[in-house]
Chain A
Amino acid sequence: MAQVITVTSGKGGVGKTTAVANLAVALAADGKKVVCIDGDIGLRNLDVVMGLENRIVYDIVDVIEGRCRLRQAMIRDKHFEDLYLIPAAQTRDKTAVSPTDMVRVCDELRPDYDFILVDSPAGIERGFRNAIAPADRVLVVTNPEVSAVRDADRVVGILEAEEKYSPALILNRLNLVMVKNHDMLSAEDVLDLLAIQLIGIVPEDEGVIVGSNRGTPVALEQKSRAGQAFRNIAKRMQGHTVPFMDMDKQGKLWDRIQRSMSGRRV
């Protein structure tokens, strides 16, 4: 039975779609059966980032409104035969889908897959509520930047208030040089405020943009550091313990991560 994992953030542009595309590819490379769903109705991007935009015939709104069967809207990935994408509609908006619709679609997919990844839109309104409705778990993406962290805090508050999403954090676009020069928030600063379990730190990497433009997620590149970080997150999602890259195994950040892994108050 599949685990449904929604990736959200509050703030736009922090790397949700990039994370979904890369985690999907990394999980598929580990032999898992994966479906990803683009929840950003009206502003779809997941298809572009995965290089599948020319293959769209039906989208999730077609499925929900009964114009096609679920299978017909599922696009097989170019690289992995057990990885599928259900694209969003571009000519509609978030009111076309309801939380119950999303739950129904995911329930139909659950028996045949290992992971269902839902790409949430930015914000905390209807699109966000649609995306989290079917989730067993929610991953919150943020950047080490004050307004992104503020929005992530708001989102984590909403998720924690409903007591069922076990939110975990992906800290994306960390630039260690800038952190050392005190020009950027450190991972410790971010966790200080957000105080939730950390599931991954992805370093800033120009290759991500190149990969997006080409439709080949960086998790496919062995040499890419961001790609390695996403592959590590995929392993953690499967229950493996993987050490964080670039970390001194001492110091406050290490302690905090250890405490959060053991479930204690961070």
Chain B
Amino acid sequence: MFQEKSTIPPRSSIIPGNIRLNHMEETTSSTVQIKGLRDGLLVTLTGEVWDDQRASLFEQIDERQSFFKGARLALDIGPQALGVNELVELRDHLSERGISLWAVVSESPKTEKTAQLLGLATRISKPRPEETRHFAVEDLGDETALFLNKTLRSGVRIEFSGHVVVLGDVNPGAEIIAEGNVIVWGRVRGMVQAGSKGNRQAVICALDLSASQLRIADEVSALLEPQSDPRPEIASINPDGRLQSEAWNSG
């Protein structure tokens, strides 16, 4: 039995700029806006209630199945807070229709954290490579920290605009990128960057710093050997401007 492949031209040639589709039902008012990206689609949902947004989204998709089939989809859901079950269900239902969800962009920290833990991207544009600019060191007014009460396994990437505290290990293949400090009450064997926006005063502390790679601002460490007798250590940029780690001595 042969399967016919329908020839759909690349997405960028179908969509001339933005297509805004206003979909008003009797009870809901969510809008679904579809935009073509270089390598897929960005769908922006507005509305207040997740169930309505989801219903509108799938109504659009089901109306034009061949258009969406095989697409890489990034979804912008604004301030909506989604938990594990909702995101997993969304991804599975999209996958049923041949759509692969690769990013969920949201203003809600809960959604962002859940998406990251599920391996989804939370930003769309690739960050530009940092040039050696000297950023004004901002006062972190709130001193906000993200607290993770778990071991970060391979493939998990956590990005945060404040400090990051982990109660657990950072396994090889896991990454933390924090604008502030990074404190790990456990072993660091993955990649950790503190001061990611240029704060050279940032530090990285861990009970065992056998990291694959450490970065503070734009300084990168040499590969650290796993220690046979690990001690708590703190890594920082020393007065000569080099990244170094030293044993933690209380007092």
Contacts and interface: CB of A to CB of B under 8 A. Distances in A.
Interface of A: 95, 98-100, 126, 129, 133, 150-151, 153-154, 156-158, 160-163, 193, 195
B88 A162 contact: yes
Interface in B164-196: 169, 171-173, 189
Given A162-B84, A162-B118, A157 B154 contact: yes
Given A154-B153, A162-B88, A193 B95 contact: no
A99 B91 CA distance: 11
B103 to A, nearest CB: 16
The 8 lowest CB-CB distance pairs between A and B, nearest first, are A157-B153, A153-B154, A154-B154, A154-B155, A161-B117, A153-B153, A161-B118, A153-B171
Contact of A150 (B84, B117, B151, B173): B173
A157 B92 contact: no
Contact of B96 (A98, A156, A160, A163): A98
B118 A195 contact: no
B17 interface: no
B243 interface: no
Given A154-B173, A158-B119, A161-B84, A133 B154 contact: no
11 contacts: A95-B98, A98-B95, A99-B92, A100-B92, A129-B95, A150-B154, A150-B172, A153-B171, A154-B153, A154-B155, A158-B155
A160 B84 contact: no
B104 interface: no
A166 B172 CA distance: 22
Contacts of B172: 150, 153, 193
Nearest to A10: B154
B94 to A, nearest CB: 11
Contacts of B117: 161
A42 B73 CA distance: 26
A99 B96 contact: yes
Contacts of B98: 95
Q: Could you tell me the dominant secondary structure of chain B's interface residues?
A: loop
Contacts of B155: 153-154, 157-158
Interface string B155-168: 11000000000000
A95 B96 CA distance: 10
A211 to B, nearest CB: 32
Contacts of B154: 150-151, 153-154, 157
Contacts of B169: 193, 195
A116 to B, nearest CB: 20
A157 B155 CA distance: 8
Contacts of A193: 169, 171-172, 189
Interface in B108-130: 117-119
A153 B173 CA distance: 9
A193 B98 CA distance: 35
A126 B171 CA distance: 25
A129 to B, nearest CB: 7
Contacts of B118: 158, 161-162
Interface in B75-114: 84, 88, 92, 95-96, 98
Contacts of A151: 154
Nearest to B88: A162
Contacts of A95: 98
Nearest to A157: B153
B1 to A, nearest CB: 9
Given A163-B84, A193-B171, A157 B96 contact: no
Nearest to A193: B171
Interface string B131-165: 00000000000000000000111111000000000
B92 A133 contact: yes
A126 B84 contact: no
A162 B156 CA distance: 14
B157 to A, nearest CB: 11
B227 to A, nearest CB: 14
Contacts of A126: 95
A163 B154 CA distance: 17
Contacts of A153: 153-155, 171-173
B151 A195 contact: yes
Nearest to A195: B151
Contacts of B156: 157
A98 B173 CA distance: 29
Output the residue of B98, B118, B171 with the most chain A CB within 10 A: B171
B151 to A, nearest CB: 6
